[in-house]
Structure 1
Amino acid sequence: MAPAGAFRHLTLALGAAVAALGSLLFIAWKIYFRGTGTGASWAGWWERELRELREQQSRDPPDGTLDWRQVLILGLDGAGKSSVLHYICSETAKERIAPTQGFNSAQLYTERLEMDLLEVGGSQNLRAYWPHYLSQAHVLVFVVDSVDRSRLLTARQELHALLAEEPRLPLVVLANKQDKSNALSVAELHDELALHTLSGQREFFLLPTSATWASLSTATSVLRVKSLLVTLLSQP
């Protein structure tokens, strides 16, 4: 009889594969149905924000279409990716945001732009699937826990492995949890993540962030990330 530990590892692996397959199918579904008027009613915390953003649009392009862009949000588990996604898309207070077990997705609209924001879980079982999402991405957002010193080496290795797959993909690194007293500074994280080795051909940004309700009015607000993404993706 196989030991209990073997069954546990098999279960985790199968769960990761199912989650990854589901998110890949979701991407394919989005690409196939984009522009056809077909879609699902995505219940969730971003619905009110999306409705408000649509109402704020002053005018559409002459042909009535929006340029589509995808933002891929990655990072180790516990880095705060789900919180970043929440506060980019919705300026509403939330006491607790559950960790991502598979993937989360949201949409933002500007006058001429439709942005799909796809967050993939950062557990060890899911990281092997990260490279599969790069080909459709227009910007990679990599979230780092500025307090978790013990896993900075892992974060650096995972980040550079992704960058090797897509040498020209624009990169936004978020030094998250800057509201914590023991958080590493942006300069320290720049060194720890070996960001000085990045090619000059890649657009690259390193921002301090605090993905909390209280921080939305501070210099580390994730709303700065939202503005940066709109600027980057609006470029011809």
Structure 2
Amino acid sequence: MAPPGAFGHLSLVLGAALAALGSLLFIAWRSYFRGAGRWGARWEPPTSSSYLDHPCLNFSKRQVLVLVLGLDGAGKSSILHYISSEAARDRTAPTEGFNTVDVPAEGLQIDLLEVGGSQNLRFYWNQFLRQAHMLVFVVDSTDGPRLPTARKELHWLLAEDPQLPLVILANKQDKTDALSVAELHQELALHVLTGQREFFLLPTSATHAALTTATSVRHVKSLLVEVLSQL
């Protein structure tokens, strides 16, 4: 007989594996229909008119994939919500598997793929790096006890791909107990990246009330468009 809790653990592992598989299938689908790939690689369309007429094909814009990661509860889903829409939303449910939004921009079609940040899903994060054009890593500025975990996960990803453009979001800056950008720079050991890669550290507040403030998610969207346009 299996020991107590074994079935629960197995269920979590299988759930994480299925979620990761779904995300990989999603990327494969995007790669086939939208020409995903690092540094401007593109899918060559077939000659059949039925494929050329597919609604997902948009040859006038370059397709780019932005991978959005961070620990569970960091606010990734809320950030995606306000990047794609400014409609008010009081609460965003945690992402159990993956979440996607499309953001049109001049000359670009930006696909943002968020993968859940639970411990089981973090194991699969590096599987998505190869298809990404940029990594956005979201940190909960109020979650001091888990900052060492966030630092460990971030540097593991950076070691996996030392060239991927990086944007770090110091989220929840609207909270009174939020660490400052300077404090997070130290806590995340970002000083070791100096001279190794270009990165951006932005303060954010993924709330409707903050859309007109200095920590508005609008600034994130503008930065993504600016950096991705130069790749």
The structure 2 residue matched to 1:38, chosen from 24, 47, 54, is 54
| 1:133 and 2:149 correspond | no
Confirm or deny that 1:151 pairs with 2:152.
Answer: no
Does residue 193 (structure 1) correspond to residue 209 (structure 2)? The answer is: no
Partner of 1:5: 5
Q: In structure 1, what residue type is equivalent to 2:20? A: A
**Do the aligned partners of 1:75 and 1:155 also contact (CA within 8 Å) in 2?**
yes
Distance 1:38 1:212 in 2: 36
In structure 2, distance between residues paired with 1:200 and 1:95: 40
CA–CA distance in structure 1, aligned partners of residues 17 and 171 of structure 2: 28
- Structure 2 unaligned blocks of 5 or more: 36-51
Q: Tell me the residue number matched to 1:165.
A: 160
| Distance in 2 separating the partners of 1:202 and 1:118 | 22
Is 2:97 aligned against 1:102?
yes
* Shift in CA distance, 10/229, structure 1 to aligned 2, threshold 3 Å: same
- Cα RMSD over matched residues? 1.5
Query: Which stretches in structure 1 are left out of the alignment for 5+ residues?
Result: 41-59
1:86 lines up with 2:104 in the alignment: no
Shift of 1:195: 0.3
* Structure 1 residue identity aligned to 2:54: T
Residue in structure 1 matching 2:67, options 72, 89, 107: 72
**Inter-partner Cα distance in structure 2 for 1:182 and 1:173:** 19
Q: Is the alpha carbon distance of 1:201 and 1:38 closer, same or farther for their aligned partners in structure 2, counting shifts above 3 Å?
A: farther
Deviations 1:19-75 (A, max 9, x none): 0000100000011012745368xxxxxxxxxxxxxxxxxxx9xxx521111100000
Q: Which deviates further from its counterpart, 114-123 or 195-204?
A: 195-204
Counterpart for residue 215 of structure 2: 220
Q: Which moved more, 1:152-161 or 1:105-114?
A: 105-114
Q: Which runs of 4+ in 1 moved over 3 A?
A: 35-40
Give the TM-score of the pair, scaled to structure 1.
Answer: 0.87
Q: Which residue of the partner structure matches residue 173 of structure 2?
A: 178
1:153-183 CA distance string (max 9 Å, x none): 0000000000001111111000000000000
The residue matched to 1:33 in structure 2 has which SS? Answer: helix
The count of corresponding residues between Structure 1 and Structure 2 is 214
